[in-house]
Structure 1
Amino acid sequence: MKDWPYTVFPTGWYQVGYSSELQPGDVRPAMYFDQHLVMFRTETGEVSLLDAYCQHLGAHLGYGGTVKGECIECPFHGWLWQADGELAEIPYAPGERRRVKIARWVTREVNGLILVWYDAFGREPFWEWPGIPEFADVEHNYPIVHDHVGIRKIIPQSPVENTPDYYHFMWVHGAGQPGKPLLWKEDQHYLHTRVGFWYGHGKKATWMTPNGPVFGEIETEAWGLGLSNARFVLDGFITNQLTAATPVDAEHSQLFETITVNRQPDGGPEPTGRAARMIEFQKGQIRRDFAIWENQRYVEHPPFAGGEEEHYARFRRWSRQFYSDKPYTASTEVAAAS
C-alpha cells in the first residue's frame, strides 16, 4: 500500500490455517511476517510453527521435512527437532549435543483455527482470542465454512477499518442507505461496534427479506487488527463472518474468511436455501471490499464529510496501539538467549 506510515507489522493474533487441514504428520512451508517458516503437527496432535531453516546446514524443513513422533526430521542430514525447536537428536552422532535451537512461534488452536502471535518487541501474548461462540455451537449453527481467499495486496488494518465506514455500504455493497451507528466500545485491544440497517430498504421483497424490509444490525468485534468478526442479525437469521488478514510481507497478507449461519427450522445437516445463499452472498460481498483495498492508497489525514470523522478518527487512534517502532523476528529472541 502506497504511503503507509508504519514500517512494522501490528501486534496481535493472526490466522495461519485451519485445524482440520493440518493432520498429524503433515508438514507445510509457510511465509508470514517476512519470515520463512515451517508448520507441522506431531503424531500426538501438537501444532508447531518454527523458523524454517535447520540450524545444521540451513535446509528448509518445509520442503522434504518429515514428522517423526514429536519431532520434525531435516531432509538434508536427518537432524531431529522437537516441536519447541530444541534439538532432539543427531542420528549419525547420537552421543553428541550442540547448543542450537530453532525459534518457535507461539500458536493456539481456537474454534478450528490455527493462530500465531506476533509482537515487534518479542513479548509473550498479553491477550487471548476468545473465539466466536457460534463457531463452537454446532447444535444451533451450521459447521464453519472455510474460504481461502489467498494472498492479496492488502494490509491487516484495511478489513478492520471498514468498522467505522458507514457510507461505503451504498456504493460497494448496494445498500439502499448508510448504516446507523448504535454502539462504539473500546477495551484496550478489543473493539465492539453495532450498526443498524434496513435490510431490503426500498424493495417489497428480496431473497434475504421475503416479507419486506427488516431493521437489523451488523455487530462487529475486532481483536487487534488480525481478526475481526461481523455478525449479521436479521430477524432471527444470524450470520457470522470472521475475516483474518495475516501479513506475508510489508504489502501483502494471506486472507481467510470463516462463515457460519444459524440453523434454519426447515434445514438439514448442511445449509440450504436462504442459509446457503447467504454464505455465498457474503463471500462475494467481501471480495468487493478486497478489490478496493488492493488498489487503495492510504490517506493519513482524510478530508472527512458527513460526520465520518467521529468514528473514523476514533478507529485510527485505537489502531495505533498495535504498531511498534522496530522490527522483530522470533530469531532475535533466540539469539539474545544464546
Structure 2
Amino acid sequence: MHEEELFGVKEDNKQRLGLQSPDVNDDLCPERQETELTLIKVEVEDKDTPHIKEEVDTSSVKEEEEPLPFYNKEEELMLSDIKEEEMEEIVTKLVDEDCPSEESSSSSQHITTEGEKDHCKDSQEDGLLAPISDDNDAESHSPHTDDDEEQSEGVNLAVFRGEDGKAHVLDAYCPHLGANLAVGGRVVGSCIECPFHGWQFQGDSGKCENIPYAEKVPDFAKVDVWHSCEVNGQILVWFHCDGEEPQWTVPEQEEITKGEWVYRGRTEHYVNAHIEEIPENAADLSHLTYLHTPGIVSGVDLRYTKNKTWQFVQHHWKAQWASESSPFNHCSQMLLKHSLHVFGIHWPLLDLHVVARQVGPGLVFLRFDHSFLGSGMIMQSVTPVEPLLQCVSHTIFYQSNIPAFVPKFILKGESIQFERDVMIWNNKTYISKPLLVKEDSTIRKHRRWYSQFYSENSPRFQYQRDTLEF
C-alpha cells in the first residue's frame, strides 16, 4: 500500500469551530439540561522548552492585566463619583508610580498556557486546543495569562452553561475584589454572578451587566472571555502565546454527534513529563515491541511484565506514522495493527485496526474497527496542569448496540498499556537532542512536525539558577 493511501485523510473541513455548540446526544450527558458551573485550573508547564500553545479551542490571548494600585486615604474615591476619563487618568498615574517597568519585569511575563520544556522555534501555526470540560463530566484546561509569573503556574477559569444551554469560559476572578466566580457563584440567565457582592458578568462579552448596590455600572467593568467551542462532547478553549486567532478547527465526529456512538467511560492520569513526550509516543515505533508486547494480564509494573509466568499471552504490533500535508499540516496519523497470540497461536478474531489521528499538540482521536466487536473511538486530550505535569484523559464512545462491557474492556486494556508508558515518563528526563539511530527516524520527523506549535515567545522552564538567590 502506498504511503498516500495509508495516511490519506478524509476530512470534512466545512464545519468550522465557532461559538455555537453542536447538537450532542442528550442521553450521553443529562447534565446538559441543567445549569453548570465549573472551576477550571490550567497551568503552564515547561522545562527548558518553549511553551506550547495548545489548541484550546477558540480564543485569543488576554490583554495584560494592570497590577492593582495601592490607594492612600487621601486618594480614596467612590467609583460612582468620578467620570470614566478621570478614573482612567487616576489609574494610569498610580500604575506609573507603583508598578515596575516592562524592562525590569521577568521574562516569564509572556508565558501563557500549555508549556513545554526546551524547544524549537517559531511557527505561525501555534496553538493549543485543550478540553476544558466533558459533556459527561467536567474537565480542566489550559488558558493563558499575559504579563504575570503566575502564568507559569497556572490559570483559573470559570466555565458555566447559561440558562440558554450555551457554554461560556471566563477568567475566574472578579475584577472588583478578586472573588472566585466559580466558587459559590451562580448562573443568572446568560450571566455568572459573583458570590461576594453580586456583580453579574455576561458570558459572551465578559461585561458587567449589573451591580446590585450601584446606580451605574462602569463601562470598563468586565472580565476576560475565553471563546469556547463545544464539539464531540467536549468544551475546548483556544490558546496562543502570541494572541493569534484559531488557525484550524477540531473535526466533528458525526457518529458521536448523531448518537450512533455513546459514552462508555473515561480514565484520567497525571503524568510528570514534558508535554511533547506524550504525543511523541506515536512516532516511537520501536518501543511498541519492547514495552507493549507482554499481555495485559502481566499488569503495569515494568519490573514484572516480562515475568515468564505471563509469557503465554503476547500482543504483536505493526505501526506506521506520518504527518499530513496542507491544509492539514497541523495533523498527523498513526496506523496501528494489533494481533493477539496465546501460547504462540494467533487469534485472528481479536485482531484490531486502529487509526490514531492527532489534531494540534494536545488532541488525539483513536478510531478502531473490529470484525464482530464493532467500532468506536477513544479521544485523548493532554492538558498542562503545571510545569512538567500533564493531565491526560481518555474518553471512549462506542456503538450503542454493542454491550457496554466490550468498550469498557477495551478502555481497561488501553489504560493498562498507557500506564506502562506513564511509569517510564514519570521517571525519565527530557532530552532535547537525543541520541538516535537510523531506525528512530520517525522520532526526528515527529519533533520537526511538532516544532510548529512553538513560537519565539514560547516561555522556557529554567532548570537551574546561576546564583543561590532564589
Fold in common (TM above 0.5): yes
Distance in 1 of aligned mates of 2:349 and 2:217 = 75
Alpha-carbon shift at residue 32 of structure 1 (Å):
5.1
The one-letter amino acid of 2:280's match is E
Higher relative contact order (CA 8 A, sep 6+): 2
Distance in 1 of aligned mates of 2:192 and 2:414 = 39
User: 1:115 matched to which residue of 2?
Assistant: 236
User: 2:345 matched to which residue of 1?
Assistant: 204
Matches for 1:133-152 after TM superposition, within 5 Å = 133-139=254-260, 141=261, 143-152=262-271
1:161 aligns with 2:280: yes
1:56 aligns with 2:179: no
Q: Deviations over 1:17-50 (max 9, x none)?
A: 112436xxxxx99775521211111111121111
User: 1:6 matched to which residue of 2?
Assistant: 50
Alpha-carbon shift at residue 202 of structure 1 (Å):
6.9
SS in 1 for 2:392: strand
User: 1:172 matched to which residue of 2?
Assistant: 291
User: 1:225 matched to which residue of 2?
Assistant: 361
Structure 1 residues 131 and 326: CA distance shift in structure 2, 3 A: same
The one-letter amino acid of 1:271's match is A
Please report the TM-score for the alignment, with normalisation by the length of structure 1: 0.80
Distance in 2 of aligned mates of 1:316 and 1:201 = 36
User: 1:104 matched to which residue of 2?
Assistant: 225
Alpha-carbon shift at residue 161 of structure 1 (Å):
0.9
Higher strand share: 1
Structure 1 residues 21 and 213: CA distance shift in structure 2, 3 A: closer
1:192 aligns with 2:333: yes
Greater C-alpha radius of gyration: 2
Distance in 2 of aligned mates of 1:182 and 1:96 = 56
CA contact (8 A) 1:32 1:248 kept: no
Alpha-carbon shift at residue 231 of structure 1 (Å):
2.3
Q: Deviations over 1:209-246 (max 9, x none)?
A: 4x5674x5331111111101222344464342211011
Distance in 2 of aligned mates of 1:201 and 1:2 = 43
Which residue, out of 418, 443, 446, partners 1:312? 443
Distance in 1 of aligned mates of 2:184 and 2:362 = 30
Q: Deviations over 1:267-290 (max 9, x none)?
A: 4xx423x44422321222222222
SS in 1 for 2:433: coil
Q: Deviations over 1:274-309 (max 9, x none)?
A: 444223212222222222223331122222235111
Which residue, out of 271, 276, 280, partners 2:404? 271
Which residue, out of 395, 408, 431, partners 1:299? 431
Alpha-carbon shift at residue 148 of structure 1 (Å):
4.2
CA contact (8 A) 2:331 2:357 kept: yes
1:77 aligns with 2:197: yes
Structure 1 residues 98 and 170: CA distance shift in structure 2, 3 A: same
Q: Deviations over 1:52-104 (max 9, x none)?
A: 11111111112111111111111111111110211111111143424122111
Structure 1, unaligned runs of 5 or more:
23-27, 329-338
SS in 2 for 1:308: helix
User: 1:282 matched to which residue of 2?
Assistant: 414
The one-letter amino acid of 2:201's match is W
SS in 1 for 2:283: coil
Higher helix share: 2
CA contact (8 A) 1:177 1:201 kept: no
Distance in 2 of aligned mates of 1:293 and 1:258 = 21
User: 1:322 matched to which residue of 2?
Assistant: 453
Structure 1 residues 127 and 38: CA distance shift in structure 2, 3 A: same
Structure 1 residues 150 and 80: CA distance shift in structure 2, 3 A: farther
Structure 1 residues 2 and 295: CA distance shift in structure 2, 3 A: farther
Structure 1 residues 304 and 217: CA distance shift in structure 2, 3 A: farther
Alpha-carbon shift at residue 130 of structure 1 (Å):
0.8
SS in 2 for 1:53: coil
CA contact (8 A) 1:181 1:196 kept: no
The one-letter amino acid of 1:12's match is L
CA RMSD of aligned residues (A): 2.9
SS in 2 for 1:200: strand
Distance in 2 of aligned mates of 1:149 and 1:229 = 16
CA contact (8 A) 1:42 1:69 kept: yes
Structure 1 residues 294 and 94: CA distance shift in structure 2, 3 A: farther
Distance in 2 of aligned mates of 1:222 and 1:36 = 26
The one-letter amino acid of 2:318's match is G
Structure 2, unaligned runs of 5 or more:
1-44, 55-126, 145-153, 294-313, 460-470
Distance in 1 of aligned mates of 2:48 and 2:344 = 41
User: 2:320 matched to which residue of 1?
Assistant: 181
Aligned length: 310
Structure 1 residues 260 and 306: CA distance shift in structure 2, 3 A: farther
Structure 1 residues 101 and 185: CA distance shift in structure 2, 3 A: same
Point out the more displaced range, 189-198 or 74-83: 189-198
CA contact (8 A) 1:42 1:67 kept: yes
The one-letter amino acid of 2:367's match is R
Which residue, out of 33, 43, 57, partners 2:163? 43
